[in-house]
Chain A
Amino acid sequence: MEAVDNGPMLREALLRHRPDVAVVDVRLPPTFTDEGLVAAIAARRDVPGLPVLVLSQYVEQLYARELLADQAGGVGYLLKDRVGNVDEFVGAVRRVAAGGTAMDAEVIGQLLGRRSAPLARLTAREREVLELVAEGRSNAAIASALFVTDKAVGKHITGIFTKLDLPPSDDDNRRVRAVLAYLQAAPGGR
């Protein structure tokens, strides 16, 4: 264990201790802007896939994109108030530690709220599923959250992939990356 209070030292500590998972606040001294995020991204540049869960009062598309940019997995980005839901938070920490992804529902929510053309083709249920997919849930978890069968979830996901022109894939992590990559890189097009 080690306590640090600024970005550069955080990066050093992350590289020295190689934790199973690091939970990092976006705002850190000295400037209280985005040091935590910058340090986490820098550490992951040195150790690709180093599991980092970033907590913040706000979620920003830009930061989500930067965290996902290296495509290495093991990344989480959650609102601080999600910590209050202990089971879900612990689940998110475990997913990130295992190399998965945990994106806050608001990251995808903001995109769904503003993006129009291709997402308009999704049904309300498909949007719900997409939101849960982006959070990094498995098919089984989505099924239980929405009170439907695994098979129904699989059908919805296939539907989403088809409507968004994404190649289908079984891997949790790749699904999230594909969804976010699509939403961020090619909005409105096609």
Chain B
Amino acid sequence: MIGQTARVTRVGEWLLAAFRLVAGVVTALVALVLLLALVTGLVLVPVFGAGVPVVAGALGATRALAELHRREAGRVFGVPLAGSYTSQPSWSWRDLLACLRDQQNGRDAIWLAAHGVAGVVVFWMTYGLLAALSGLAVGAGGPFSVFTFPVLVIAAVIWWLVPWTVRGFALLARVLLAPSDAALTRRVEQLTDSRAAAVDAQAAELRRIERDLHDGAQARLAAVGMTLGLAAQAVRSDPDQAAALIQEARADAGKALAELRDLVRGIHPPVLADRGLVGGLEAAALLCPVPVALDIDLPVRPQAPVESALYFATAEVLANVGTHSGATAAWLRVRYAGGALSVVVGDDGRGGADPRRGTGLRGIERRLAAFDGTLRVTSPSGGPTEITMELPCALPPPASGPSSPRTTSSSATA
């Protein structure tokens, strides 16, 4: 029985491998088409930029195909593979130039060619072997004379070749699609930079909090103590003056509390702690002078640092919408897809936002970079502006029970 089960499993595995081989041949064809599109697009770019959308589309599709094969190769070798892109294809010239400089895109293109050629070779080989097999089988006399020596040899070769061909496809992907050593070195440099920036930002933030406390609440509380001391002295000799002093002390205590509240709001807003990113963004949208249409879909709460980073980045972008855009309507879209949380803030204002000119957007970009996050701006003069913040992160599995945070999808105008 056990032997039979094992045989059934092996046949199943082989059939699966055969299916993967066919799929590999099909994607090889797709790869060749994409390569052709890429080359044609690049040739057409000088012709009034007609090739730009073609190149952007082909690059995007190549990424999807490469990702598929990375996952497949990761399964075969048991090691997860990840590309290291430094660019994001889009219709803008700047993004496209960044794509051309991105080494991973170059390696992807080489893989397209290699995978395409390999697929064609495998196709003809398979075709040849199957043709030979069927030729021999048809030529045979009776049902049992099919099992001649040449037929068995060819069948054995096919049986053995199929899994190895699948491994071959995976090996190509592993060699060409995973980041090179140079890319890994660059990644280390990038991480070192972003870590230094994060540490600097943290230290600056602590200094700001210390200064705010020192000049604000601490000074006020000292004043409260002094005023109350004076009141204690005056309470017998001049009760009216004492009462006035106590009033003054209470007013000062109130101001100290207000300053502490503002300070806490700047460190970790209570609504973010209570309701998570969804509630925090709803609250931030409420405070925006421009009406904001909300479209938030988050199955669970992300981790606290991710929530905080995206909350503050979005709050700042919304504040910019209020002060600079001259917009009459804005929208906020939050999605989790492909292992990344993305927040899009758009407005119908005058446009022309440029991260290279203002320090605000650069600052947001730097802070997101500490989480490997990115900020993209499309803001043609005359609008509309769309700012996309993307932060790769893993979402925890959905919690159950009454204490689970309420992070339902929300669609409303704030």
Q: Which chain A residues have a beta carbon within 8 Å of chain B's beta carbons? A: 8, 30-31, 33-34, 57-58, 60-63, 65, 79, 81, 84-85, 106, 110-111, 114-117, 184-189
Contacts and interface: CB of A to CB of B under 8 A. Distances in A.
B270 A57 contact: yes
B207 interface: no
A62 B279 CA distance: 8
Chain B interface mostly helix, strand, loop or mixed?
helix
A58 B289 contact: no
A48 to B, nearest CB: 22
B183 interface: no
A79 B257 CA distance: 10
Interface residues of B, number: 28
Interface in B251-279: 253-254, 257-258, 261, 264-265, 270-271, 273-275, 279
Contacts of A187: 288-291
B283 interface: yes
Contacts of B322: 114, 116
B397 interface: no
Given A30-B403, A60-B270, A62-B279, A188 B328 contact: yes
Contacts of B288: 114, 187
Nearest to A184: B286
B287 interface: yes
B51 to A, nearest CB: 42
A72 to B, nearest CB: 20
A64 B315 CA distance: 19
A92 to B, nearest CB: 16
A42 to B, nearest CB: 12
B402 interface: yes
B274 A34 contact: yes
A107 to B, nearest CB: 11
Interface string B393-413: 000000000110000000001
A114 B289 contact: yes
B98 to A, nearest CB: 36
B273 A33 contact: yes
B399 to A, nearest CB: 12
18 contacts: A8-B402, A33-B274, A33-B275, A57-B270, A60-B270, A61-B283, A62-B282, A63-B271, A65-B286, A106-B258, A110-B287, A114-B287, A116-B289, A117-B289, A187-B288, A187-B289, A187-B290, A189-B291
Which of A61, A106, A110, A115 has the most B CB atoms < 10 Å from its CB? A61
Given A34-B275, A188-B328, A58 B270 contact: yes
